[in-house]
Every structure is written in C-alpha cells, then in structure tokens.
C-alpha cells in the first residue's frame, strides 16, 4: 500500500487549497519570511543527503552531464510551459492568479521541482515500494503541506494540481522499485541521494532568491546518478586506485 505516496500528494492538495483561501489574508512579509524558512529547510534536507555521498567524482559528473542535457533539450522551459498550460486550464474553472511574468514562472518551476523531483521524494518512493517504510515520505509531507500553502499564496490553486504529476511520478517509482532496487548497491543509492541533495540545495537558493539555479534543467542528473556511480566504482575506480 503506497501510504507515503498518497499522504504526500494529499499534503500538497490540502496545503494548496488552504493557501489559495487564506493567501489574501497573509501579509507579504509573512509569505517572504516563510519562503526563506522553507528554503532553509530544503537546503537542510539536501545537506543531510549529500553527507551520504560515496563517490564525489561520480556525483559531480552526474550533475554536470545531467544539467548539460537538461539545458540542451530546454527541459526547464518545457516544464515551465507545461505548468503554465496547467494553470491556464485550471483558471477556466477557478479564479487563477497566473500570469506570464518571469517571477510567476520561476515560482511555478520551483514548486514543480520541489514537489515532484526532490531527491528525498524520489528516494522515499523507492524505499517505500521496496520495504514498506514510509517515514521518509511522511517527513517530506510535513514540509510540503506548509510549503504548498505559501506557494499557493502566489500561484493560486494550480499548486494543488501539482500533486497530480507528483503522484504519477512517485507511484511509478513505487511500483517499479522492486525491479530497480535489487540492482542497486549501497554506494549507488548514497550517490543517488547525494545528487538529489544537490538539487534540493539549488532549490533552496531559488526559494530564498539568492541565486536562480536551473533546477528543472538539473533533473536529468537524477537519472544518470546511479549508472555513473556504478561505472565509476566498477570500472574506473579500480584503474586509478
């Protein structure tokens, strides 16, 4: 039973609805302050994953190659366009807060990446599918319900609908975890988590508006992390040791 996946999706839905309702009652100072706090939480989650890293060269190579691929195929722009289309469709039925300004697009992409592509969520879904341990996703849900509330103050009800792609992605990982996990060594898993941690730190910097890292374009790094970690430990490391 994918309890963690369901709870995490519901957290985003509930937080998004609550934020859409009370958003007008919250001052800009409160929203800005909470965004800063959530950014710090995202970076703390990222750091906790990065310290598990086993093969730094493999993780760095994954991030560099993955980001290069994302930039080459304009993944960030496609995710942004998809999010705006989703917002436009929703605004036909509900009063939306959308727009074409760059700040709105940045907030939307940050929310999509944070909820759908964080290393914690992806790893938590895999662990949940293999062992039935849901604590990782439940911990993420606590942060997501508050974060989605704040995002909804700016993005509107579209925040709740981000739970749809999130649920699909996490469910796919949950279902196929039995196929993926047996072929993963502890080293590969730790490097995968470290790669996700880097994305979380980049997301945190975006949330506190220090630096606009191309977090959406960095997503392919998550796909490359395990294969590159395996190649590094199996073929390259023995040659240089």
- Give the CA distances from residue 50 to residues 178, 183, 191, in Å, rounded to whole numbers and listed in that order: 25, 22, 8
| 82-104 pLDDT tens trace | 777 776 777 666 655 555 577 77
Q: What is the mean pLDDT of residues 48-61?
A: 94
- Give the CA distances from residue 111 to residues 17, 38, 39, 161, 214, in Å, rounded to whole numbers and listed in that order: 15, 12, 11, 11, 13
Taking alpha carbons only, the member of 31, 88, 75, 65 closest to residue 222 is 65
Q: What is the mean pLDDT of residues 110-114?
A: 80
- Give the CA distances from residue 70 to residues 14, 64, 77, 83, 209, in Å, rounded to whole numbers and listed in that order: 31, 10, 10, 17, 22
pLDDT at 55: 96
Spatial distance between the Cα atoms of 147 and 70, rounded to a whole number of angstroms = 26
73: which residues sit within 8 A by CB, 6+ positions away? none
Share of the chain above pLDDT 90, in %: 33
Q: What is the mean pLDDT of residues 183-200?
A: 88
User: How many C-beta neighbours within 10 Å does residue 139 have?
Assistant: 15
pLDDT of 192 > 80? The answer is yes
Q: What is the mean pLDDT of residues 20-28?
A: 78
pTM: 0.81
Q: What is the mean pLDDT of residues 217-227?
A: 91
pLDDT of 212 > 80? The answer is yes
> What are the extents of the domains in the chain?
3-240
């Amino acid at each position: 039973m994918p309890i963690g996946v369901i709870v995490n999706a519901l957290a985003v839905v509930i937080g998004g609805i609550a934020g859409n309702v009370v958003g007008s009652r919250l001052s800009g100072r409160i929203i800005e302050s909470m965004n800063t706090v959530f950014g710090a939480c995202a970076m703390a989650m990222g750091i906790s994953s990065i310290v598990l890293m086993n093969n730094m060269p493999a993780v760095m190579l994954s991030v560099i190659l993955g980001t290069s691929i994302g930039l080459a195929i304009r993944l960030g722009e496609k995710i942004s366009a998809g999010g705006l289309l989703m917002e436009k469709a929703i605004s036909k039925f509900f009063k939306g807060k959308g727009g074409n300004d760059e700040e709105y697009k940045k907030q939307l992409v940050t929310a999509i990446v944070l909820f759908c592509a964080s290393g914690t969520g992806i790893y938590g879904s895999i662990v949940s599918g293999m062992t039935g341990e849901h604590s990782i996703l439940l911990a993420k849900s606590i942060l997501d319900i508050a974060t989605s509330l704040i995002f909804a103050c700016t993005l509107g009800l579209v925040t709740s609908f981000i739970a749809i792609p999130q649920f699909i992605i996490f469910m796919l990982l949950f279902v196929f975890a039995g196929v993926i996990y047996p072929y993963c060594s502890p080293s590969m898993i730790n490097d995968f988590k470290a790669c996700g941690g880097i994305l979380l730190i980049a997301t945190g910097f975006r949330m506190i508006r220090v630096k606009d890292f191309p977090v959406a374009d960095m997503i392919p790094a998550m796909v490359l992390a395990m294969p590159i970690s395996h190649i590094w430990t199996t073929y390259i490391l023995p040659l240089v040791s």
